[in-house]
Structure 1
Amino acid sequence: MNEKPKILITDDSEINRALLKEILGDGYDYLEAEDGAAAVELMRQRTDISLLLLDLMMPGMDGFDVLRVMKYHAWLDEIPVIVISATEDTANIERAYDLGVTDYIRRPFERIMVLRRVKNVLMLYAKQKRLTRLVTDQVYEKEHNSVLMISILSHVVEFRNSESGLHVLHIRTLTDLLLHRLVQKTDRYQLDESDIARISTASALHDIGKIVIPEEILNKPGRLTAEEFAIIKNHTVAGAQMLQDLGQAIAQDEPLLQVAHAICRWHHERWDGNGYPDRLKGDEIPIAAQVVALADVYDALTSERCYKHAYDHDTALRMILNGECGAFNPLLLDCLQESSEQLRAELNLSEWDRGFRQESHRLSEEILHREALPRENHSQLLLEQEKERTDFYAAQCGGIRFDYDLLAGSVTVYDYHAEPMQQKTVTDFAQGRGLGFLNEQDRRKLSKAISRATPEAPDVVLPVMVQRDGKPHLHRMALHTIWSGAGVRRCVNVLGQLTDEQHRVEHQAELLTALDPEEDPAHFLRRLQGIFDVVRLVDPGHRKVLTLDSDGILTEKPGHCHMVWNRDTRCENCISAKAYARKTILNKIEFKDEEAYFVISKYIEVGGRGCMLEMVTRLTDGRWLDMGGHRLLLDRCDGMERSAFVDPLTGAYTRRYFDKFLASGEMSGGVAMIDVDQFKAVNDSFGHLVGDEALKTVAEAMQNCLRQTDILIRYGGDEFLLLMPQNCPDGVESVIRRVQNAVQAARVPSHPELRLSVSIGGVCDVQPLTEAIRQADVRMYRNKENG
């Protein structure tokens, strides 16, 4: 049975909404919004809205504001809009069409006009979507087939060359990574996404010319003679000639062939002109060939070949940067260095994959030569050996491992902190005995994480607290959900691994409180690089990143310091410039690609030159403690205990936490002051125990409707401070409404007759933070007086 189209009717008049539903009849499902903000929230949450019927003149956020939000988020591409309004002003009608509405109906209207126009718009959009899907499928199929054929051909070349089957995949991955980093740094080469995709695809053909090289030369384990090396070098010209001949037979101006030809012929050229075959120099070498050359050298170094062992990532990187593999474009070398950790991750993945492929190859050889499947006992032995390996590695990792069977309702726990005879337990999860090491809050958090997992996104990581030696220890809990394979997909198993993060956090705190860069700056920076995601020296005046040379002298690197944040100009909220001027330390929360980062910037002097030491940590993986969806930085400076940062009654952060970590920081976004209404009367009428319960109920209601990056602080008594980084004015107003509605709907367990409410005052993008809090406080009391 087909689902009915879903129509969102947005009008501040309930009568108008009811009239439209009556006219359109039972052929549609309906959603209703009484103002623009409610309509935007519904469109943000749902993906099944087929049509929006919109009134223009509404209090608060009017129809024009709704259209601007839809245009900004590109929702108009998916949701057609018919304006139904009494306004007859031609300027307003033209403005609505300019903002992207599909049709405009004036009130009063004929019943048949509304019916027909709604039906026509829905049919038009449905046909457009079917056409778009058809074209997309055809384009995808064509590209997929092209990539497949190129991959087959390049693998044939690799087979003759005895190279790893992953070489082509590596080159494509590294080429794509370097090109994306390059376009972030400079617009010199004018590359767009289609160019990057084309170069990455064509990179698979870089060594196609080796198909004409004799195998005894390609696979010679020792050093090549001068004559043999001359033959090897000819593969660049041979490959380019093949593609040129192909272009004459098919289409000489085919962009993919042109790029592949450039890569084949010139991927062994070098920046200083000492490459081959044409000794091109600098940007005479096409950028596609430059990037593939660098990717090829890196993968050649980190891969095992018949004539050499594989180098590790750090050694390969050092050899390239030191010029041991020839000269490369300095911009590309910067891209390589900045992508170092991504490259390391790719290499580690490949090592695992390589082992898997070797075992697969062994099994396939057995099948081919014996013309039968491997013996059952041999396969069983392999499985038993794999399980033994897994158990051994898990035991070495320590911590706690568990296997939760949702169908049986049981959970098997392996606690490697316990005595050997007590390490494995099997208990009933449903009765709450299975994961007794978790507190109730973390158990709820675990259940919520399981419910949100999907077959497409089966993995979850969250921080929890586990009692160890009578004290709570921060642990990292990694979850993997296993799903049924047929029919309706259901989660059937949850695998979990908990590792103790407390030592790492304490080590980070000790390091931060013992900074002494005057001793040995190079050694000091290396220690920090083992803890933070990014550690660098910056000259904020010239917007330059600095590096220490072998003599301990600071030199400037190419590019500007703001490029790491994907910005073209100086950061609007540059704390390094402010801290440099005051010769102090500042911190802030920064956002990049929807990820949150904590940035510490400290003034230091190296060799008599003042500069800023920037330390950046991505706010995940145990660096923040999750409390009902809100995060607490665990730097633990000055040896203070965690309990000083979390209010034991409400679970919100304490005023001490705010004063220590946030008050001196820089933050752009929303700030709100929240006060519980008539709280003194609750204490006077029901007693302080009920008052505490009411305060806890209010805090829980607020926490349940905030983002992960929002920070709720118990500022004093029944007053809360809410920080909303990177939230726009409309977003702040939306959060305020959600908080007020959540508190009004909450009930005190022991006295459900109590009705709670809060007064809130909010501001957005006010600096400094102290002024934002003052203004929010004034607004809060003004709103409280106005009821």
Structure 2
Amino acid sequence: MNRDTILIVDDMEINRAILRNLFEQEYNLLEAENGEQALMMIRQYKDSLAAILLDLVMPVKDGYQVMSEMTQNGLMTKIPVIVITSVDSMENEVRAFDLGAADIIIKPFESHVVRRRVQNAVELNRHKMHLEEMVEEQAAKLRESRDVIMDTLSSIIEHRSVETGQHVLRIRMFTKVLLEEVMKCCPEYELNEHSIRVISEAAALHDIGKISIPDTILNKPGRLTKEEFDIMKTHTVKGCEILSGLDRVGDDEYLRYAYNICRYHHERWDGRGYPDGLKGDNTPICAQVVGIADAFDALTTDRVYKRAIEPEKAMTMILNGECGVFSPKTLECLKNVKASFFELAREYADGHSPKLDFAKSLSVPSPLHSGIDNMYAQDQIKYFAMLRYVDSTVFEIDLDSGIYHLVYQQNDDFQALKTGNSFEEAVINFVESSVHPNDRELVLDILKNQIDNFFSHGLIKSSTRYRVFHRASGKYVWYEAAAVRVNIENPKSHKALIVWRLIDEPSNIENMKPEKSGASVSKNLPAGILQCMNDQYFTVTYINEGFISLFGYSKEEIKEKFQNRYIDLVLPEDHIAVRHWFNEQLSLGSTQELEYRVKTKDGRTVWILDKSKRVVGEDGNEYLNCVLTDITQIKQSQEELRLTMERYRIIQDQTNDIIFEGDIESGEVKFSNNWKNKFGYEPISGNIFTQIKKLSHIFPDDIPALQKIMQKVIKGVPYAEAELRIAGAEGKYIWCRIRMTTQFDDSGKAVKAVGVILDIDSEKRRIQELSDRAQKDALTKLYNKETAVQIIQNRLERNNENKSYAMLIIDIDNFKQINDYYGHMFGDAILAESAFRLTETFNNGDIIARFGGDEFLVFIECSGGLAVIEEVAQRVVETFRNIYLSEFQKFGLTTSIGISIYPNDGTDFQGLFKRCDLALYHAKNNGKNQFAVYDDSSMMKSFGVYQKQVSAAGTQIDSDDSDNYNIDSIVPLAFQKLYESDDINEAINSILELVGRRYNVSRVYIFEDSEDGNYVSNTFEWCNDGIEPEIDNLQHISYERMGKNYRDNFDENGIFYCQDISDLSKELYNILLPQGIRSVLQCAVRDGEKFVGFVGFDDCVILRMWTKNQIDALIFISELLSTFLLKKRAQDRVISAARDLRMILDSQNSWIYVLDPHSYELKYINAKIQQIAPEAKLGMKCYRAFYNRDIPCEMCPMNGIKEDKNKTIEIYNPASNIWSMADASRIRWGNQDACLIACHNITDLKTDKN
């Protein structure tokens, strides 16, 4: 984003105004009047801020607090902060610089110095950011070189241990995938995208120490002996020794991760790993993750001592601790990414070399995790906390993948569940070793039958009780085993948790009998009572009479028609919502409320409020007791209200206006959604009366106007409005009008304010533009004479502080000769450039005006004494010498300046101007190209006190009385020529001459593209006196010859302007130079979006400087010419096509004519008809022209043509003794219906037939 905005932070309005005047021409400005508001602005617009001008002493939060918070957010190094304060003390300066200030400026200050120091800070920061980008690029190249070295080293390890194959590559990929999940679920490890990338790269070196292990051990095909395994374990320490010698690589972070991974990736959660036996989180998370990745890869790939096993079985072994105990949190994360692990294991199996794919995968940044991910991480933490609190054994199964995991073990009673190669085998081992002999058949039946029934019936929960051997006491104790579905929204998912909870004897546990319980509470209730199973169908087990009267179905009908499935009574459109809503509320407790629709027996759709409670039956299954209430009328009222609100929303969306409603007592204001669409951020929240000064985006100077209308509303004024500026999304203030109406309660107290915020930015800017036009000179954009005189007089009248001022009259020497030699247009360019140089030299608060044809007046504060004024004047003289220095070889561009001082030389405008004029006369009389300060003794004495002085300053503006070269003076003449001329070519040539002579150019011309756009031809040309025509030499020129991208010379406005053709490409320069061209201006001609040519203006005499007004006028003229020219070319194509069509019809060996189907008048006849019927004329009746009849023919081909688009009949003409086959067709002729008839001579055929 372009950094073009300065934020001014000061609680004093006058200070902000001074700084605003200094920078408003160069930067977009934002303002804040306290530290809190400033910080809000900084957070909102940090990417577009070029600098911050910060006061130290402010309310709410001072400047030091602002810089402190910016430092905490890392913004002080990105945005230069220039402290501007009136407190001049060493302590404040040291504190400000320590906080990171780029510069400190003490008030009062000199405006020019402030501008330069701020500009220096902005430029320095820009270069610093550029250098940081370069450093980052070089660091990336160094990382790339380092990765090449490390990959080479890793490859050496791979080739020594031949069975590992792509082991190193897979480790990096497994590590990256698992780390991303850990980052999402476990924020306590403080992982981020950068650390994940570095850890994944460092994981390649996890087994670097194996380079020191003998081949006989590293590649031994059988099991290692204890001594051999002890040697193998040393690869962790050996690897660290190797890494310690790589410190010259220079990347400390990378080496730190590599060291931790290499040393600790064989450590385990329970402390039984090596080399240091670390427990828990004492092992760095990077090593924990690489350890899991290493174990998974070792299980799923062939090794010299074993064959690979399936990824699903490997996952189960890791989850159940068969490869050592890993962190429960990382294991939960592993389960979440198991699908990715399986895919990577297969895609990057040994024998493949997809390293390029891996490089790409590492280069793609992982998505940033949102607040939802943080919530998920908190759920994980809560899950483990709950397991510890409940202290029940939890076993997770996934029948789809075959993975099972003993998540939490209450005691050693369930240790057997960790054995076996499958879920079924693990359960059988548990039954045989731990379940009471009398209960084993029950448990095995659950395994064989009830598990499948649990999933197939869509049950949510099912439980049973049996005895398990308690190892601590040596006795069998009772446990309740509950199976709970995990993904209840997906009926195809087969995931569940089995939870074993220690319970008392079954005889002491209360059970409920579902139907009896339901019946006991519902017989006499008027509402519908339903009891159903908690399965995917909500299978009905009991309904009361109220249910039957509510829906109209009897118990038998529900059983026969719906198979007791209550979900089938629910409207199909609500099935998914009901299941989702129920499952969602199920997690919140045993009681829930749902709203849905049911189709009754008589066809009505009723809305039902369902209040449900979960209970557990004596069979161990879950049931729902539901109270059903008809809320149809309530929902209808809600729908009417919703439609009303929807209409209100639609009206809001169709307007850009922002609607708001405020509560007067609380200060809370609600805004329509248009606010964020309009301004790009959320509106102010909380009490607006307290927040408006601290946290609003409103222009600080406009806040009092808003507070004023707010007070009016509080006092009960019915209506109020105000205009103010609000910062938009791009950091630019937008003018808005707020209209506010007060609402009263029954007692007449003002309670609410309702209003609208209107965008009036374009309106205000148009008014400002009109004001500028009235106050400023059209050519130079400086103040005009009248405005400057008024402003200076007002400033002198209000000079209560006894300030000293200086008036300067600046006159361009020899300007008349320059005008006569180079022309008025070039003279205007000189004046415009001179004005620009003056605005660059003086401060924004100074008054600069164009006071005459070639004279300027400047009025500035003389705070530094006469020496400063003389220094500025000398700088102006030197500046004018350098304007277009190469162009003024014949006339030198110099200036003379007269200076008078207030109050020494006068106390009003006229007195100052008179003496300033005398000083100017003195400067010119002494040789020009200098300045002179008014001296009463010498200057008045030289010219005589009582003599009438001849003014050196001419106050008439020459360009105001000369011909205006703007659009208004040429367009009427151009239109007149185009509309009055019968020959469009002649009119275009006439306009080219008009423009050429008005602007005194050498050549005006039009080029048009060929139809394929590859060639261009000069089609029109006007040349000034003494200029050779070039039109004959510029026909069918290839764009290839003019430079392949010639059209790219035209900017977005369709302008190609070059003051000096020597600045162009060599190809284009060599084409234009032989034509004698020095300067060129061309305007593109477009047909829609297609470039079809251009209108050009060449100067072969001088290097022409075109002004904006002149270019605007030429653009308009070019568009006018192109419009008529394109229209003419289109007409030419139509005429040519018509001529070709007529030639085709005349060449046909058929009689072809067109008739009006209503009047039978001839609209067209071809040449063949004119040969046999020379008397036939357009407008005659066909039956009169061809058959000499007074009425239409009975067999006319047009009969029935309205019903049939085409018709063919045979016609005999006795007058000419000719048989013809007539084809009649309905067509459009011009703007009306017509009939086309084509007659073919078949006389010979008829004769042969007879």
Length-normalised TM-score, structure 2: 0.29
Length-normalised TM-score, structure 1: 0.43
Higher relative contact order (CA 8 A, sep 6+): 1
